[in-house]
Amino acid sequence: MKRVRRSQVEIEGKLRERTEVVEEDPSPPWDDRARLRVAGRPHPRLDGRAKASGAAIYTQDVGLPGMLHARILRSPHACARVLSVDASAALALDGVRAVLTQENAAAIPWYGGTTRLLERTVRYAGDEVAVVAAEDEETAEDALHLIRVRYARRRPVLDPGTAPRGGKPSVYTRGNARKAVSGAPVVVAGSYRTPAALHQAFETHGSVARWEGEHLTVWDSTQHIFGVRKELAAALGLPLHRVRVISTFMGGGFGAKNECGKYTVFAALLARRTGRPVRCLLTRAEESLAAGCRHATVQTLRLGARRDGRLLGIEHRSLCDVGAYGTDGPMPVGGPARTLYRCAAVRTEEVPVRTNTGPHTAFRAPGYVEGTFALERAMDRVAEACGLDPLEVRLRNYSPGDPRGFRYTRKGLRECYRIGAARIGWRRRARLGRRGTSLRGLGLASQVWPAGGAPPSHAVVKVNPDATAEVLIGTQDIGTGTRTVLAQIAAEELSLRARDVTVLLGDTGAGPYSLLSAGSLTTASAGPAVRAAARDARQQLEELATGLARGKGGRPGPREVCREIGDAMVIGRGARGPNPEGLKACSFGAHFAEVEVDAETGEVRIVRYVAVHEVGRVVNPLTASSQVEGGVLMGIGFALLERRIEDPATGRGIAVDLLDYKLPTALDLPPIEVLFVPGADPRATTIGAKGLGEPPIIAAPAAIANAVAHAVGADLPELPLTPDRVLEAIARGRRAP
């Protein structure tokens, strides 16, 4: 039975009040006493062979008969008025079938209505100006050079420090933070900066669109098939049932593929105009300019503490460079300051500022990675000021509940500290020092992330006559292993092996609604829905067994029931139940890094890394450990290498390829130890699991910065920790008393 309630939900670190329609899930939660055979054990990806054989079809691989190829013309100017667009020469080129410009494209509102699909004002170098569809990519590319555009250039705004406000600041207060900090015996103040960073998924954004009469099918590299369906239908004025979005395999998203892109609408419009299927894929340069970023932050932070290290007040203000169009407001950079430590007086403020740069989007733990870096850097400085060990300061400020006034379903951060400190050998910290030109340091950082999932998510389980099963669900597997994890959950409930279950996902035409795959939502949202549907199917089988037993004598087992009923198959249905009232479900973690800094070159080498997480039950330890290893390496990239760079005068992207935008390679991988705090969190979800998508990246830059600061004996106020900045810190450390 569905019912309506008011509830608070925290998605991507943003707490929102909403009216939700919920459906009770009567499944008794799998707690620590539950004897599970499949869920909770390592299982190879069920689609591993499809991927390793090259058979898996990604959006980029979709080829349809008669398909045209679209390419986008982008503004070279960061701020300009488009005076005219003349596409006649492009249209005359052999092989060009259509050109969309502001003159002939529908005025579809975009970026929350702040602009249109193709507009007269371009606001960043990379903004869309026109689109060509041609017989092949090369012809489309050639045609772009033939489009004559006249621009009236304006001076772009590029410095977030002086940029205008881009919307309402997001303010949170408890107690009087200013008074608490100012009156504290120990005050640590600092300014911390983090750069804009690019997701750089290897499959670039892209869509293939095909019309069949009134019906539109779109293959899209997306983290939210139902979200794309909704936005695309609205953009084109179509009823939902005529739009189908498919994403069977996708090559990474990391938050940049949460929404419908302009390229999707371009493909659909051009396909309608030409009567041919149209493919529109971004190049790597476009991916770097126009496909979203982690927004840059300038954070000012003041912590007030007693001499024993206990926090009295936290003031945190962040300027968030949301770029030219960011529609989702600033990311929750103050989230860690609000929730990581026990502190009665806290004020956080996230101020969006607008520059003429590419729009920002969510990027794996948006806000929390940046905010954790600043807060955990400052916590180490509190420890130093009080003459305490950094771990001890964190334990003294440990908050068993959410300090905003909620209880947690479970909080295993203390165990994370204990396990991690033992593994890395934290006690050695005081003895580490300089050996020749090599400076050693040990650092740690803590992590919190709302990861309990949420409704709505629905699933259907079909049980076949041979006692195998299919799960239908409108979620998507963005590479994390969702197919496998959901199969394990269904198999557990149906007493099958995981490989007796096929999960059909990534198709709005096949499975019922499930949430977007972002914010560590998927396992904790889709998982319980699948379990509920499988449980419904099992109960139906049990009832049928009773009926069949009357005629036969013995009570048949589930396998016999399936055979007996044959094609009159059992179909189970389930929904993700509501979250518990008044409780918050978060994932926790502590990361420990040991680094070696070369005092002559400023180079940082990570010698050892230990990542400990508490996420409730780990449904699949194999895919979970991949998730952590990859998240840590992505965090290492953000700590040491990655930043989006624009020319400060023109705003044009400089590092728009993978040579200049530095991603971690195989040679940058340190020895990483991945550990999980054992035990389920049955109050969070019926499967006892919480999310793990974002947690692995959150603490990594902070842990590394703290280790480097320990090694060099000075604060590190800006990421990435490039050699020049490290050398500068070493010089400051020498001057320090």
Partner 1 sequence: MPEARTPKKPRRARGTKSAVHLLLRVNGEDREVTTAPHRTLLETLREDLGLTGTKHGCELGECGTCTVLVDGQPILSCLALSADYEGREITTVEGMADGAQLHPLQETFADLGAAQCGYCTPGFLLTAKALLEEKPSPSREEIREALAGNLCRCTGYLKIYEAVEQAAARMREEGPRGGR
| C-beta of 49 vs 179, nearer to partner 1 | 49
Asked whether position 528 contacts partner 1 by CB under 8 A, the answer is no
Asked whether position 142 contacts partner 1 by CB under 8 A, the answer is yes
The CA distance from 413 to 590, in Å, is 7
| C-beta of 347 vs 364, nearer to partner 1 | 364
The correct pick among 14, 45, 276, 338 for binding partner 1 (CB under 8 A) is 45
| C-beta of 238 vs 504, nearer to partner 1 | 504
Asked whether position 548 contacts partner 1 by CB under 8 A, the answer is no
Asked whether position 141 contacts partner 1 by CB under 8 A, the answer is yes
Asked whether position 103 contacts partner 1 by CB under 8 A, the answer is no
Q: How far is CA 506 from CA 6, 247, 517, in A?
A: 30, 5, 11
The correct pick among 468, 663, 717, 723 for binding partner 1 (CB under 8 A) is 663
Asked whether position 161 contacts partner 1 by CB under 8 A, the answer is no
Task: Write the CB contacts of 712 (distance below 8 Å, at least 6 apart in sequence).
Answer: 439, 441, 597, 726, 729, 730, 733
The correct pick among 2, 5, 24, 55 for binding partner 1 (CB under 8 A) is 55
Asked whether position 94 contacts partner 1 by CB under 8 A, the answer is yes
- Binding segment for partner 1 (CB under 8 A), chosen from 90-98, 226-234, 353-361, 548-556, is 90-98
> What is the total count of residues that contact partner 1 (CB under 8 A)?
88
The CA distance from 417 to 182, in Å, is 30
Asked whether position 65 contacts partner 1 by CB under 8 A, the answer is no
The correct pick among 669, 679, 717, 722 for binding partner 1 (CB under 8 A) is 669
The CA distance from 518 to 363, in Å, is 9
Asked whether position 583 contacts partner 1 by CB under 8 A, the answer is no
- Binding segment for partner 1 (CB under 8 A), chosen from 201-209, 379-387, 459-467, 551-559, is 201-209
The correct pick among 231, 286, 596, 715 for binding partner 1 (CB under 8 A) is 286
The correct pick among 1, 4, 568, 667 for binding partner 1 (CB under 8 A) is 667
The CA distance from 710 to 17, in Å, is 41
Task: Write the CB contacts of 4 (distance below 8 Å, at least 6 apart in sequence).
Answer: 19, 20, 21, 22
| C-beta of 291 vs 714, nearer to partner 1 | 291
Q: How far is CA 119 from CA 106, 127, 137, 229, 728, in A?
A: 10, 9, 24, 23, 45
Q: Closest approach of Cβ 666 to partner 1, in Å? A: 5
Q: Closest approach of Cβ 11 to partner 1, in Å? A: 22
Q: Closest approach of Cβ 235 to partner 1, in Å? A: 24
Instruction: Using the Cα atoms of residue 262, residue 264, residue 266 and residue 268 in order, give the sign of their dihedral.
Output: negative
Q: Closest approach of Cβ 93 to partner 1, in Å? A: 5
Q: Are 451 and 481 in contact (CB under 8 A)?
A: no
- Binding segment for partner 1 (CB under 8 A), chosen from 113-121, 437-445, 562-570, 628-636, is 628-636
The closest of 124, 182, 180, 129 to 157, measured between CA atoms, is 124
Asked whether position 236 contacts partner 1 by CB under 8 A, the answer is no
Asked whether position 693 contacts partner 1 by CB under 8 A, the answer is no
- Binding segment for partner 1 (CB under 8 A), chosen from 145-153, 175-183, 414-422, 521-529, is 145-153
What proportions of the chain, in percent to the nearest 5, are helix, strand and coil?
A: 30, 30, 40
Instruction: Report the DSSP beta bridge partners of residue 133.
Output: 70, 98
The closest of 186, 542, 682 to 396, measured between CA atoms, is 186
- Binding segment for partner 1 (CB under 8 A), chosen from 245-253, 422-430, 453-461, 586-594, is 245-253
The closest of 432, 717, 435 to 599, measured between CA atoms, is 435
| C-beta of 130 vs 684, nearer to partner 1 | 130
The correct pick among 98, 149, 209, 314 for binding partner 1 (CB under 8 A) is 149
Q: Are 413 and 446 in contact (CB under 8 A)?
A: yes
Asked whether position 31 contacts partner 1 by CB under 8 A, the answer is no
Length of the chain (residues): 737
Asked whether position 654 contacts partner 1 by CB under 8 A, the answer is no
Asked whether position 162 contacts partner 1 by CB under 8 A, the answer is no
The closest of 347, 640, 489, 643 to 25, measured between CA atoms, is 489
Q: Closest approach of Cβ 484 to partner 1, in Å? A: 10
Residues 246-275 interacting with partner 1 (rule: CB under 8 A): 249-252, 254
Asked whether position 534 contacts partner 1 by CB under 8 A, the answer is no
| C-beta of 39 vs 532, nearer to partner 1 | 39
Task: Write the CB contacts of 116 (distance below 8 Å, at least 6 apart in sequence).
Answer: 102, 107, 108, 109, 110
Task: Write the CB contacts of 234 (distance below 8 Å, at least 6 apart in sequence).
Answer: none
The correct pick among 11, 133, 147, 526 for binding partner 1 (CB under 8 A) is 147
- Determine if residue 589 is left, alpha or beta; phi over 0 gives left, psi from -120 to 50 gives alpha, anything else beta: beta
In the sheet with 121-122, reading across from the earlier edge strand, the strands are 121-122, 80-86, 148-153
Task: Write the CB contacts of 654 (distance below 8 Å, at least 6 apart in sequence).
Answer: 645, 646, 647, 660
